[in-house]
Structure 1
Amino acid sequence: MTAVNDDSFTNWKNREEIAESMIPIIGKLHREQDVTVLLHSRSLVNKSVVSILKTHRFARQIAGAELSVTETMPFLQALTTLDLGPSQIDLGMLAATYKKDDRGLSVEEFTAEAVAGATGDNKIERREPRDVVLYGFGRIGRLVARLLIEKAGGLRLRAIVVRGGGDQDIVKRASLLRRDSIHGQFQGTITVDEANSKIIANGNEIKVIYSNDPTSVDYTAYGINNAILIDNTGKWRDREGLSKHLRPGIDKVVLTAPGKGDVPNVVHGVNHDMIKPDEQILSCASCTTNAIVPPLKAMADEYGVLRGHVETIHSFTNDQNLLDNYHSSDRRGRSAPLNMVITETGAASAVAKALPDLDATITGSSIRVPVPDVSIAILSLQLGRETTRAEVLDYLRDVSLTSPLKRQIDFTTAPDAVSSDFIGSRHASIVDAGPTKVEGDNAILYLWYDNEFGYSCQVIRVVQHVSGVEYPTYPAPAV
């Protein structure tokens, strides 16, 4: 027994050493060539040794076997020999497709072929960072800020616009960015320049602009030009209201709530490629819409969907009351941390905007429950043909690994998974294999989603797309 344990420990230390040697390679590729190294759509940039090893181990849940750093390191080393341009390269996909390739190519030859679209004459030039302004700095605003700071190479957070507060307003806002009760500490350093009304986060100077009226701000006065403004307030949701943000220095407006009227509702991965280049106002829909639309599209593509119903068990939000008090909505006035609260959801009706070709009626309802983050959508579908549970799970597992929806759909087989396990997930939704039910042409999917962070990641993907800094991924996912 001791010998086995010693062998296991020696194996762990060897893999630790390999993972440690990967870090400077990944960092140099990202810093010098704007290449983001992924593993099954999870970024390895700025990750620790243990995090890299855990990400490799995660593949066991999906592919049935753990992916070892000994398998992926040769592909990473091969990347360093290539003249790469800005791109995202998935080591997990490289390793998986290489195993299936029977041409006898070396790792170096296969890698060069798989990423040829990002090398030599094919590579795209690194683009100048696009200015971004946050209008509002609440839960979503601060998480989007963290992501923008993390992705400062392509998107540059220049300013946040908030209503004027009391003493030390900027200090308190910086503190809320620095520490989060759910999502933990900010990864980096934050300082405050009160005299110049600035927050400096990881070297990014962010101007804090105080205004109660979007039409009163001239962003060019702060050196901001051609910027994308992200409205996190939800105060304006139609084109007329959101157009108020189109001030000097602002080129496009992105809403982090369902848009009304003719405002396009965009779910990245599903309909983001339908955004017209000259569209100045768009919405990222809701967190629940982002959670259900990608798996709904996946199921419709493979099986057809005749009708469906979504029941969301949703964490409470800042719109509810801590204790019973007046609220414009009947039940949301009741204490959020003490009750399950039946409420409405617009997610089902928003499906039609994101999936206009889906000829199916989707209904929906929602119950707010006493947890601060992570929700679950129970999606009940009548399919266009009969199938089996095993077939559906195999299909969705493959979708999460190799399809164009792999950044939106994750997959777990963990038998003891609970909501807090998915705090910080960057996917729009996570299929839970355990409770999935399929009988004939009826399927019930259980979809976890971090309604704060996962949604914020979807917002950033939309902003990257419309700003032109969403670089292609290699190997290209199967269509």
Structure 2
Amino acid sequence: MTVNEDSFTNWKHREEIAESMIPIIGKLHRERDVTVLLHSRSLVNKSVVSILKTHRFARQIAGEELSVTETLPFLQALTTLDLGPSQIDIGLLAEAYRADDQGKSVAEFTAEAVAGATGGNKIERREPRDVVLYGFGRIGRLLARLLIEKSGSGNGLRLRAVVVRRGGEQDIVKRASLLRRDSVHGQFQGTITVDEANSTIVANGNVIKVIYANDPAEIDYTAYGIDNAILIDNTGKWRDREGLSQHLRPGVDKVVLTAPGKGDVPNIVHGVNHDTLKPDERILSCASCTTNAIVPPLKAMADEYGVLRGHVETVHSFTNDQNLLDNYHKSERRGRSAPLNMVITETGAASAVAKALPELKAPITGSSIRVPVPDVSIAILNLQLGRATNREEVLDHLRNVSLTSPLKRQIDFISAPDAVSSDFIGSRHASIVDAGALKVDGDNAILYLWYDNEFGYSCQVVRVVQYVSGVEYPTYPAPAA
């Protein structure tokens, strides 16, 4: 057999294994509310090629490719266990098993590693929690996609309604079309139908009521069968407690803002300070996309090296707040054409660090430049550290953080030398460390952090909503402290 034939035969064999994994992953998700991960990446509803690519990607962060032949036995072992709702990372299981020298079988090792999710230790499946989206723009529609995607088990979060202002003739048809097709994020994964008579959008079986209102005070959500809901305001119209309290209408229990909160509204970055939320807190903010991008790696660096001061420069994709062509705008520069210019503007991300990471006493300054790309931004984080180090040490630290730490869902790591912004469209992490661009000189480190300011941020918002609703299930093996 030639080398080419051998390579192709190997590929077909791995395809066959990946195909056999799909029904197992799907059944665990639907019947037991178990989400199978591979190095923090969900394998639920993924294609054969996507599963194989996710395994190969492990090479960039772990140093060597992870094969489906290694992970399949762990997946099979999970089917024999009395599992409760959880997230189980078969990539971490395989890596930990490699390092184990106690001679256990895969089945024995797996049972021990996920013991917290089995038998008498397992948690009960939650009743679905109603979610309402107030606004249906760029972030609103991505949140809808994520909520629909995560409704497969029938538990967890359930998108019940979207609140918008009526836009004219065939309003609901046009809004459904925008959910179905997106110029940046591609096609909706599933089917969407519209019932104009009942003002509903049905997406993958999820019946979503479209409520037309000009003001929060107009709505009684219980009239639509909605109860104890979490309302996500993605309009940004109200940012303080007084304004956001208008959403606390009948049927709504909590309000989550997808913009930086003002005053005493808690600014939450999942993975960093979400566990500081008080159970009775009814109004909170998920901060900004840039705050979510810089705070997790900033914490990772501060915990290991200490940070004396820092500056963040964000090179940010343009947004709907800017004009397509030069026209009046209340801001001094945002009125200039977004697709034709680099536009210097302000960012509140640096000042927001103090809210999300109050233990960091170092002063952090920041500024931003909007550039002519529709999505994905990069934050350049320039830090003076508490001690001298070198590039290799920092790379190893951040790689390990992305693999095994409690911040692994927030921080990703890429070593591809030719990576560019469009490569990160659809990334589910809050930020991605670009290994090739990292610079370290003594006590000075400059991190280049990519982030999908739309989709990655939306994933962070959903994580916060899962946490406050009580449907964020534990992950096994447990990340290192």
Sort the TM-score into its range (normalised by shorter chain): over 0.9
Counterpart of 2:437 in 1: which secondary structure?
A: coil
2:98 counterpart of 1:96: no
- TM-score normalised by L of structure 1: 0.99
| Superposed counterparts of 1:140-159, under 5 Å | 140-152=139-151, 153-159=155-161
Counterpart of 1:360 in 2: which secondary structure?
A: coil
Q: Equivalent residue for 1:459?
A: 461
1-structure distance, mates of 2:47, 2:422? 22
2-structure distance, mates of 1:308, 1:106? 48
Compute the displacement of 1:215 (Å).
Answer: 1.0
2-structure distance, mates of 1:166, 1:49? 42
Compute the displacement of 1:336 (Å).
Answer: 0.1
Compute the displacement of 1:64 (Å).
Answer: 1.0
Structure 2's unaligned 5+ residue stretches are none
Q: Equivalent residue for 2:7?
A: 8
2:407 counterpart of 1:408: no
2:61 counterpart of 1:59: no
2-structure distance, mates of 1:184, 1:164? 25
1-structure distance, mates of 2:361, 2:100? 39
| Superposed counterparts of 1:193-204, under 5 Å | 193-204=195-206
Q: Equivalent residue for 2:45?
A: 46
Q: Equivalent residue for 1:272?
A: 274
Q: Equivalent residue for 1:439?
A: 441
Equivalent of 2:188 in 171, 186, 193? 186
Aligned partner letter, 1:317:
T
Equivalent of 2:285 in 260, 283, 292? 283
2-structure distance, mates of 1:80, 1:332? 55
Q: Equivalent residue for 1:252?
A: 254
Aligned partner letter, 2:336:
R
Q: Equivalent residue for 2:74?
A: 75
Compute the displacement of 1:260 (Å).
Answer: 0.1
Q: Equivalent residue for 2:26?
A: 27
Spell out structure 1 runs of 4+ moving beyond 6 A.
none
Aligned partner letter, 2:466:
Q
2-structure distance, mates of 1:148, 1:75? 28
Q: Equivalent residue for 1:223?
A: 225
Q: Deviations over 1:2-29 (max 9, x none)?
A: 7111111111111110000000000000
2:344 counterpart of 1:342: yes
Compute the displacement of 1:366 (Å).
Answer: 0.0
Counterpart of 1:140 in 2: which secondary structure?
A: helix
Q: Equivalent residue for 2:122?
A: 123
Aligned partner letter, 2:68:
V
Aligned partner letter, 2:145:
R
Counterpart of 1:102 in 2: which secondary structure?
A: coil
2-structure distance, mates of 1:265, 1:236? 14
2:299 counterpart of 1:297: yes
Aligned partner letter, 2:174:
K
Root-mean-square deviation (CA, aligned residues, Å) is 0.5
Q: Deviations over 1:375-399 (max 9, x none)?
A: 0000000000000000000000000
Counterpart of 1:434 in 2: which secondary structure?
A: helix
Q: Deviations over 1:135-190 (max 9, x none)?
A: 00000000000001011131000000001110000000000000000000000000
1-structure distance, mates of 2:353, 2:22? 41
Equivalent of 1:389 in 388, 391, 416? 391
Compute the displacement of 1:278 (Å).
Answer: 0.1
Aligned partner letter, 1:168:
Q
Q: Equivalent residue for 2:169?
A: 167
Structure 1's unaligned 5+ residue stretches are none
2-structure distance, mates of 1:421, 1:15? 25
Aligned partner letter, 1:341:
V
Aligned partner letter, 1:134:
L
Aligned partner letter, 1:262:
D
Deviates more, 1:92-101 or 1:443-452: 92-101
1-structure distance, mates of 2:104, 2:221? 54
1-structure distance, mates of 2:400, 2:353? 23
Aligned partner letter, 2:404:
T
Counterpart of 1:237 in 2: which secondary structure?
A: coil
**Identity, % of aligned positions:** 88
